[in-house]
């Protein structure tokens, strides 16, 4: 387990998803995102996370097309944004994402935030899945009280919940709920948006293995069986964030990091989704 950058986890529907992928929020088109994706693919990353919100799907599509890596070996995830939710608008948003990415299918399509329209959005997601346009469907930022009604009415269950997860925000109840319902958790902001080095515990643990706090955070997430998508536009950091397969945190070290949980969010609360 956890030996290589392209290690995968099997989703509830049998699809293999890389445990570690590249995040691209705020990776700008026109140079940064193209280079980040091209370099990540070159060094072995196989998962790329984007969203229509990020306004970089075309750049990601060009980087993938120029990478020489077969499309079938790359796991591409995108998301339907808040103002695209609803049945017809989700179908249209999906087609637009496909066109920008230059692909004829997605590996994973996610509802970006829970919203009042999400039941209609989900019916569109189910249709895309049934049509074979997407290999797996899931959600982001869904807490238990968002997941429960979705699960009780869905024909196709979400197989992924991508939500904010890092040492200061662990939401163990939600994690347990997801694990109990075969929903793979994918951690966003795994590096606390660059602030992880402020945690002395992670810096100290890292020093024992000649690893950075960022590497310890990613390793800790992976050892919990959680998947993640750290973002960087810098080659050195893209490589650093994937250089986490040659050390293993002890049970005590895992526990030390578990104890840092303060329920502290860096992003929006899922009950107050960003508008726009």
Ligand X SMILES: NC(=O)c1ccc[n+]([C@@H]2O[C@H](COP(=O)([O-])OP(=O)(O)OC[C@H]3O[C@@H](n4cnc5c(N)ncnc54)[C@H](OP(=O)(O)O)[C@@H]3O)[C@@H](O)[C@H]2O)c1
Q: Which of 81, 78, 90, 83 is nearest to 50 (CA)?
A: 78
Cα-Cα-Cα-Cα dihedral of 216, 222, 225, 231, to 10°? Answer: 120
* Residue among 40 and 124 whose Cβ is closer to ligand X: 40
Q: Name the site residues for ligand X (rule: CB under 6 A).
A: 23-25, 49, 112, 140-141, 162, 188-194, 212, 214, 229-234, 237, 240-241, 267
In 3-state terms, what secondary structure has residue 89? Answer: helix
Active-site entry in 54, 109, 129, 273: 54
Burial grade of 155 (CB within 10 A; 0-12, 13-18, 19 or more): exposed
Give the residue closest to ligand X by C-beta.
Answer: 23
- Measure the N-to-C terminal CA separation of the chain; round to a whole number of Å: 41
Q: How far is the CB of 214 from ligand X (least distance, A)?
A: 4
Backbone angles phi, psi at 89, to 5 degrees: -70, -30
Q: How far is the CB of 194 from ligand X (least distance, A)?
A: 3
Q: How far is the CB of 195 from ligand X (least distance, A)?
A: 8
* Residue among 40 and 189 whose Cβ is closer to ligand X: 189
* Residue among 210 and 252 whose Cβ is closer to ligand X: 210
Known catalytic residue: 54? yes
Backbone angles phi, psi at 87, to 5 degrees: -65, -65
- Which secondary structure element, helix H or strand E, spans residue 65, and what is its range? helix 57-65
Q: How far is the CB of 275 from ligand X (least distance, A)?
A: 14
* Residue among 119 and 267 whose Cβ is closer to ligand X: 267
Q: Supply the residues annotated as catalytic.
A: 54
């Amino acid at each position: 387990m956890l030996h290589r950058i392209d290690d995968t986890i099997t989703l509830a529907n049998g699809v293999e998803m890389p445990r570690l992928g590249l995040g691209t929020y705020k990776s700008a088109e026109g140079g940064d995102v193209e280079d980040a994706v091209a370099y990540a693919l070159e060094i072995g990353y196989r998962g790329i996370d984007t969203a229509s919100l990020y306004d970089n799907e075309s750049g990601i599509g060009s980087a993938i097309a120029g990478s020489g890596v077969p499309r079938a070996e790359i796991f591409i995830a995108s998301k339907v944004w808040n103002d695209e939710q609803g049945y017809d608008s989700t179908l249209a948003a999906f087609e637009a994402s496909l066109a920008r990415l230059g692909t004829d299918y997605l590996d994973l399509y996610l509802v970006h935030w829970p919203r009042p329209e999400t039941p209609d959005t989900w019916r569109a997601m189910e249709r895309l899945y049934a049509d074979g346009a997407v290999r797996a469907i899931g959600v982001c930022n869904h807490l238990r009280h968002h997941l429960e009604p979705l699960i009780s009415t869905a024909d196709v269950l979400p197989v992924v919940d991508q939500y904010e997860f890092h040492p200061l925000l662990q939401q163990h109840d939600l994690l347990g709920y997801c694990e109990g319902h075969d929903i793979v958790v994918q951690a966003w902001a795994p590096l606390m948006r660059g602030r992880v080095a402020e945690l002395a515990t992670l810096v100290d643990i890292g020093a024992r293995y000649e690893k950075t706090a960022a590497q310890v955070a990613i390793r800790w997430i992976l050892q919990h069986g959680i998947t993640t998508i750290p973002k960087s536009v810098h080659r050195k950091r893209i490589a650093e964030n994937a250089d986490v397969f040659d050390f293993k945190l002890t049970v005590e070290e895992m526990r030390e990091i578990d104890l840092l949980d303060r329920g502290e969010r860096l992003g929006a609360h899922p009950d107050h989704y960003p508008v726009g």
